[in-house]
Amino acid sequence: MIKFLIKIIFFYYREYKLNLSGFQDILTNIIFFFVSIFIFIFSIGPDKDTISVVGVGILWTLLLLSSTLSLRKFYQDDFENGNLVIMHLNGFSFGFIAILKTLSNFLFVQIPFLLSIPIACILLNIANDKIIYLITSFGISSFILSCLGSISSSMNLMNQRNFLLGSLIVMVFSIPIIIFSVGIINMEESFNSLINILFGILLIVFAINPWASGLCLKLSLENK
């Protein structure tokens, strides 16, 4: 058991090293996010109240689009260079690899967005008291996005010709997440019930993810 835990720790050490060496990819995602915010601000105009009203919607749309940018690399590199097989031979089932990679995506891709939300809120004139709601809802929703990303990326390994299909799946399934997440900010009195719904969605997607992604990984390696 301890040996297995140490293996997991060094799996994350490997992910950390890889993400550190590809830090420019993470930075590009964040820059895309902020540049897109500026474009929205310039296109809406200087009216603070309008920006404030549509700000949360803009923020969520851009968070979603920015996080789908990195989906292509979710499994692709490890699939191409055979590291998925090596991880499997090292005692990790495909389903467990999916869980580990999902957590890795959350830590190294979604957390930087989470940290940049306060700055984005200032740019979009979102009230300070709403920032905490936004961060809480994004904390849960971004993990849901990581799970959906894992499923769509593993499906994409079997369909190398059409990457957009995977992004499309994530975007379609993220519609309820956006509805509830934006609802949390606009209906503060229903915070608890909406956060519970989001948490429920997270549990469902988290349960499906290892099964669906693991199967797709296995099938894609079989047909490689």
Picking from 37, 39, 36, the residue whose alpha carbon sits closest to that of residue 125 is 37
Residues in the chain: 224
Q: Which is nearer to other proteins, 21 or 43 (CB)?
A: 21
27 binds other proteins (CB under 8 A): no
Q: Which is nearer to other proteins, 23 or 199 (CB)?
A: 23
Three-state DSSP at 45 gives coil
88 binds other proteins (CB under 8 A): yes
Picking from 77, 147, 137, the residue whose alpha carbon sits closest to that of residue 113 is 137
Taking each helix axis as running N to C, give the angle between helix 111-123 and helix 48-69, from 0 to 180 degrees, rounded to the nearest 10: 160
22 binds other proteins (CB under 8 A): yes
Q: How many CB atoms lie within 10 A of CB 203?
A: 11
5 binds other proteins (CB under 8 A): no
Sign of CA dihedral 140, 64, 174, 107: negative
Question: Contacts with other proteins: how many residues (CB under 8 A)?
Answer: 24
Among 1, 42, 49, 89, binds other proteins (CB under 8 A): 89
Among 27, 39, 85, 175, binds other proteins (CB under 8 A): 85
18 binds other proteins (CB under 8 A): yes
Residues that bind other proteins (CB under 8 A): 3, 6-7, 10-11, 13-14, 17-18, 21-22, 80-83, 85-86, 88-91, 221-223
